Amino acid sequence: MRKWIDWFSGQRQEPPPQSKRRRIDLGAAAPAYPIYAIGDVHGCLDELKAAESRIKADIDATSRQGLVVLLGDYVDRGPRSRHVLDYLIRPSEFGLKRLPLCGNHDDVFLRYLDQPKAYAEWLGLGGEQTLMSYGIDLHHVGTRSKSKGPQMEDLLAEAVPASHRNFLTELPISLKVGGFLFVHAGIKPGIPLEDQRDEDMMWIREPFLAEGPKLPLVVIHGHTPKPEPDRGPGRIGIDTGAYYTGKLAVLKIEGERAIIL
């Protein structure tokens, strides 16, 4: 788990290996419909509902249906991770067509569910708040010690619904449509998409933030919080730190235009 912490802080070049997630490619043609991207949610259900409400209002105003792409990190740090997953598993109450992608926090939460002893340091990355949303209070049950792994496994099996595990397992890692790539963190500059590694797409910061993709693509990503959406070379970052700013960004892509709602 030390490697995960180092990868968060940028101290290592190589994170631990991961199994490959699904990648969606809708072809080279520009979409004939708008695409709305939502940044990192991090357990902020009210902000997610407000973002979807803005999208619904825009769809109603333009009379054009669109696709909503969520860029991952649904859990950790904010207070309502369980409720966010419940919300995303159900059809949108606004009638939106959603495509949620996988973020690094979602991936590590899934790993913790299977191996709490091996991934115990996740608790310090916002995992305690996630467990609290499932009714697991570490200070009350006394499960901080690694020796309590089996007990934690029992608690997790009881508290976390199978539907949540399945949702996390099945999250794709990227969506490519026309000249846009939607992904949680970014990609390694200059590397063809088919050779990109899942761990980079969920965890990378530099050199991607400074250099961009170095491919004929515009990458829409989250992962690196900024007070406002962040435009760089060949990329647009829309993680606005919802769990501490109360702001959840929505980016609308229509044709070649990208605007913030």
The band of 205, judged by pLDDT with boundaries at 50, 70 and 90, is very high
pLDDT of the residue at 153: 86
Each residue of 209-257: pLDDT tens digit?
A: 999 999 999 999 999 999 999 999 999 999 999 999 999 999 999 988 8
Per residue in 103-159, pLDDT (tens digit) is 999 999 999 999 998 999 999 999 999 999 999 988 766 544 444 445 888 899 999
What pLDDT does 143 receive?
A: 43
Give the mean model confidence (pLDDT) for residues 170-179: 97
Q: What is the pLDDT of residue 107?
A: 97
Q: Quick: pLDDT tens for 6-22.
A: 544 444 344 455 568 99
**Mapped to the 3 state alphabet, what secondary structure does the chain carry?**
CHHHHHHHHCCCCCCCCCCCCCEEECCCCCCCCCEEEECCCCCCHHHHHHHHHHHHHHHHHHCCCCEEEECCCCCCCCCCHHHHHHHHHCCCCCCCEEEECCCHHHHHHHHHHHCCCCCHHHHHHCHHHHHHHCCCCHHHHCCCCHHHHHHHHHHHHHHCCHHHHHHHHHCCCEEEECCEEEECCCCCCCCCHHHCCHHHHHHCCCCHHHHCCCCCCEEEECCCCCCCCEEECCEEECCCCHHHHCCCCEEEEECCEEEEC
Q: Quick one: pLDDT at residue 44?
A: 98
pLDDT band of residue 1 (cuts 50, 70, 90) is very low
User: Domains of the chain, with CATH numbers?
Assistant: 23-260 (3.60.21.10)
- In this predicted structure, what is the pLDDT of residue 141? 62
